[in-house]
Structure 1
Amino acid sequence: MHGSMPVAPLRRPGISNDLNRRDFLVGGAAALLLAGCGGRAGGENDRESRTIEHKFGRTTIEGRPGRVVSVGFTDHDPLLALGVRPVGIRRWFGEPRRGVWPWARDELGDATPELLPVDSINYEQVAALEPDLIVGISSGMTRNDYDTLSEFAPTLPQSDRWPDYGVPWQEQTLVIGRAVGREGRARRLVSGLERRFEEARREHPGFDGATVSVIGTGDGLFYLYSTVDRSVKFFNSLGFRLPEEAARIAPDNRYYVEISEEQFGLVDADVLVCFSASPADEERIRSNRLFRRLDAVREDRVVYLSDNDDPLKGALSFNTVLSHPYLLENFVPRLARIVEEV
């Protein structure tokens, strides 16, 4: 599917993890995770060791890493936001210049990180970069990946509280901030962005309770994204919710569910977002007789995203401390116009 980390833009791995606690570690609560990770709580701690627990055990980092490799698909965003320019960045989709999208270019500056392949982690390439720290919170790394990478440098996978690729942006930012000795800066970034979401909700009270469905299409198949998905979480943060009928069929432990065209009526919403694998797939769903019957389609309340180089598609897929401000500035006004017309 559109946010599939291994193969973009329209495939997601199947997720079977129990996500009943999926909202536990977000926002300020994520700081509770860090309080038990060792080292000094609160400010910057670049001279001390930090021990961070994760799905494969715990990793200890000494001092402030100088050469950081990001093997996660989105981890370079929080690194850059924290003032750390990775020497290696994992490719995902589209053709972002030097591996980053517009929202991260100022932070990247004139650095030229080596681009790592999307399909799998290239151990030899990572080792050749001589890293002091390897960050892979959004990598979906396996135990074998972790064991191999740990031979080169301290390696940081995600916690076991979330499915692969499902760590909230708040936790991603705070954990990476601690790993690189910039925890205080990470806390400020998170609290500042959360305030911006609150401001957006106050400025647009019509978002509260408005409905949104995020769907995808590719290879003749159709999908509805659940609240586990990163893009749906963005809308939830603004006050949007899934339509009741869509919520009934959306899984609470997987990113998406396949739907038939006869089920299109279940996803009709105040705002409909449609990710397509290609312009041809977009044209195919646009011309579908049952799809064209939806109120959202007839009233021009659909956001179509099929261009893999479109920053909007990238930002909705990334869900990071840097991509969200881009969406708040460039996408929220468009949402407001749609909602005002409902």
Structure 2
Amino acid sequence: MAEDTYYQWARRKGISRRNFLKFCTMTAAMLGLDSTAVPKIIKALETNPRLPVIYLSLQECTCCAESFIRSAHPLVSDLIFDMISLDYMETLQAAAGTQAESVRLKTMKDYYGKYILVVEGSATLGDGGVYCTIGGMTANDLLKECADGAAAVIAYGSCATNACIQGAYPNPTEAVPIRHIVKNKPIIDVPGCPPIAEVITGTIVHYITFGEIPELTSLGRPKAFYSKRVHDGCTRRAFFDAGQFVEQFDDEGAKKGWCLYKVGCKGPVAYNACAVTEWNNGVSFPVKSGHPCMACSENNWYATSTPFYTHLADIPNNAIGKNPDELGMVAVGAAGVGVVAHAVATAVTKNSEKRHKED
């Protein structure tokens, strides 16, 4: 029931007070808040009712929903479902047809101005929106109807934030981001293909605690998750700085875990928390497991990141302060100088020792 507070739900589920406090502390850290925010989060989750959520699926492939159901960092693996009152989600709900739509309409009426709308997938303008219809309504009409009573809208995934694959040339359905349709509500963009599920958890907790959406970047993304590049926290960053690059996926560098920039990694231009939060309960993320970052969180990524396994022609605005293609040569040159210097020093030392013995 949405009337339950988060703490009441947690206790009924057998979650200890200690683990509840750990979750509050972890969430504060995840959002980039200092320790003074922890008591506020605790109080909010102890006193506020669970937040109703309507989850729409428009033009998409469901990879975002697959990520959503695998949130691992909260108290338990299914917390993201029980923590919120997930009232409508076509992919998961048992109800269908009139029964399902009646639940959505009831939530919109009973919690007008209080529910969160999560939207996965792009809207479509082509031929009046007929390329995506749900329950007899075009996706655009459904989106506008649900957004009207929402407290805020979370555009979840790159399809929702920048139209992604559907929006790539030639874009036959005239796919557009959610921002192009919803104009009168706070919109939080959570890009990625798919995005990280914990971003929604953190965003909702922030909203419940402070009564407002979290601080956003200039592109409308939660700053706590999208203010740093994947490159900045990458486990292979040391190899980049040393000029050690994988040239082919089966070469010696690949076996040693060297930097993947030259085989297509777009980490230097991708702003996301993948390298910090990671996936599958913090086990790994694409670069760590041996696959280049595709910068799927960036606008128009499907067009700008292809061919996927060809490296960037240049890194915009000299963002990392060096040219990777020349870096390896510089590193090799520096190593060569070091070898020569070491050889000279060794020769001088040996000659000195020899003269000392002769004397």
Relative to total residues, which structure has the larger helix share, 1 or 2?
2
Higher relative contact order (CA 8 A, sep 6+): 1
Task: Give the TM-score of the pair, scaled to structure 1.
Answer: 0.30
Task: Give the TM-score of the pair, scaled to structure 2.
Answer: 0.29
